[in-house]
A and B are shown apart, each in its own frame.
Chain A
């Protein structure tokens, strides 16, 4: 009775023809890659947003060999200029904190004085301000953040694009793997399919059975892969903490692309289902 109940829903014997760990294992590996790509895309997006928010429209002036006199003189001169809305000398502590990721805790090199400017008009050429300031305080240099922010944002965007490309590639490879596995199942059950076809099974009946089985295997694999990716990604986010301002391990867990990870199994099911449908239906067309 148990045997009958089990097989009545599986007349093609697909549980044995499409079994084993190969397909779920491969899909799990690809889900892991997809999770990494997702995390990469999210990380790049976070960085881009952060850089743009922090430094947009800001122009800094560097005063080499800064002492208080030269710094005050520069600030005073800048405040005189009509196009400057605001000029503020940066606190040395804040400067050190900003530069810590690049220079470490106690930089060996002398830190320049830095003045942050906000311009009344974004289109003002900061180089002209720098020239005029250099007359008052020799050696002063204007740094236009906007240019760098643009370049960094472009870099982050291209990283995002690469990550999305990797996702797409992973999906295509997954579809190819599913197609190969489906063909193996088809040739293993060729006789059974011909019998069912001869008994009047529609293409949709047979393809649907394959598609549901393959989709289930793919979703299982994706679930395992996504599960494995959680600790790995948490570790990576932890390592990247200084870049994105994460403070604790819990914080790094919250930084994972949870929506993407949760979407992996259903997406894997859909990819497996659709690929198996197409493969089986094309194969069935050789039968009259």
Chain B
């Protein structure tokens, strides 16, 4: 599904000479996320969360190591091979990245049009998706005419309208108030329930505590630890100064499975035609050895203590 293998990433232009490379933004990041999982990506600003996400949605290629997304090993793949995989990935950005001169409808329809869907069959899907995010009446509005929360929901609709296999969200609640953030999370949760693998980068601990799930913790470009079932506890006890030993290395299979603690007053809007989506395998949301993290032989012993 998504597999990082001793990934190192450098950005160009770190020094006074063009062509030189900056320091490693990611160092030996290794993990694997299975199909249908929901994963938090946590860490302070500058820890490399966005870099990991950009590697996941193929906006970057690793400088070393290997990133495998939806079966494609991206490090040495042909450039033309990336586009079809990108079309199976939905991305939600903190700054939305909507096209300001296209209506909400056209923004949501973009992935389907890129996939070559005929206009006649695409209309119903887009309208359905707009209703799902509660913006059916604003279909003809331009993004600048919409509020931040509405734009974010359009961005979500665009990210999921083509039923992506992988949904990646980078600080999706950064511009939203609490209510809207919870509503957004309900949408992401619903997508995950329908079988999409979801990865969400955030530093909103409140959000994480509302929906416990396995998390990846980044600090200074290194994957400090992976917790599995006890996502909520680990995230709550997160200390930016870094006490990696505080998080258990091995998944705790006997812990109760994480359940959606989403408050009842804003339940996810039901999808009208559930038969259209196959139910994900029930074990997808039950975390035992949920995140597999092979030990990188080059790193030697784990960085505990």
Q: Mark B54-71, 1 if CB is under 8 A from A, else 0.
A: 000111110000000000
Main SS of the interface on chain A? helix
Q: Among the listed A198, A201, A202, which residue makes an inter-chain contact with B91, where contact means beta carbons less than 8 Å apart?
A: A198
Taking A8-B113, A195-B97, A288-B61 as given, write out 11 further A-B residue pairs in contact, using a Cβ cutoff of 8 Å, ordered by the A residue number.
A3-B103, A11-B106, A192-B99, A194-B97, A195-B99, A199-B110, A200-B89, A200-B114, A203-B83, A288-B60, A288-B82
State in angstroms the CA–CA spacing of A8 and B113 once bound together: 8
Residues of B close to A16: CB separation below 8 A:
101
State in angstroms the CA–CA spacing of A239 and B189 once bound together: 81
Residues of A close to B79: CB separation below 8 A:
203, 285, 288
Q: Is B131 an interface residue (CB 8 A)?
A: no
Q: Mark B68-108, 1 if CB is under 8 A from A, else 0.
A: 00000000000110111111110100000111011101100
Residues of A close to B58: CB separation below 8 A:
288
Q: Is B191 an interface residue (CB 8 A)?
A: no
Q: Is A65 an interface residue (CB 8 A)?
A: no
Residues of A close to B99: CB separation below 8 A:
11, 13, 191-192, 195
* B106 and A198 form a contact (CB under 8 A): no
State in angstroms the CA–CA spacing of A194 and B99 once bound together: 10
State in angstroms the CA–CA spacing of A285 and B80 once bound together: 11
Interface range on chain A (Cβ under 8 Å from partner): 20 to 34
* CB within 8 Å for A4 and B83 given contacts A11-B110, A11-B113, A199-B110: no
* A7 and B86 form a contact (CB under 8 A): no
State in angstroms the CA–CA spacing of A192 and B91 once bound together: 15
Q: Is B273 an interface residue (CB 8 A)?
A: no
Q: Mark A183-200, 1 if CB is under 8 A from B, else 0.
A: 000000001101111111
Residues of B whose CB lies within 8 Å of any CB of A are 57-61, 79-80, 82-89, 91, 97-99, 101-103, 105-106, 109-111, 113-115, 119, 140, 158
Q: Is A86 an interface residue (CB 8 A)?
A: no
Which residue of B86, B89, B111 has the most chain A CB atoms within 10 A of its CB atom?
B86
Residues of B close to A49: CB separation below 8 A:
none
* B59 and A288 form a contact (CB under 8 A): yes
* B114 and A205 form a contact (CB under 8 A): yes
Residues of B close to A198: CB separation below 8 A:
57, 59, 86, 91, 97
Which chain A residue shows the least CB distance to B98? A195
Residues of B close to A201: CB separation below 8 A:
83, 114
Residues of A close to B158: CB separation below 8 A:
199
* A4 and B140 form a contact (CB under 8 A): yes
State in angstroms the CA–CA spacing of A29 and B109 once bound together: 40
Q: Mark A167-196, 1 if CB is under 8 A from B, else 0.
A: 000000000000000000000000110111
* A200 and B97 form a contact (CB under 8 A): no
Please, could you name 20 A-B residue pairs with CB atoms under 8 Å apart, sorted by A? A4-B103, A4-B106, A7-B101, A7-B102, A11-B106, A13-B101, A13-B102, A191-B97, A192-B99, A194-B97, A195-B110, A197-B86, A199-B86, A199-B87, A200-B83, A200-B111, A200-B114, A202-B83, A288-B58, A288-B61
* B103 and A200 form a contact (CB under 8 A): no
B83 CB → nearest A CB, Å: 5
State in angstroms the CA–CA spacing of A195 and B102 once bound together: 13
Which chain A residue shows the least CB distance to B86? A200
Residues of B close to A7: CB separation below 8 A:
101-103, 106
B37 CB → nearest A CB, Å: 22
Q: Mark A2-18, 1 if CB is under 8 A from B, else 0.
A: 01100110010100100
Which chain A residue shows the least CB distance to B74? A288
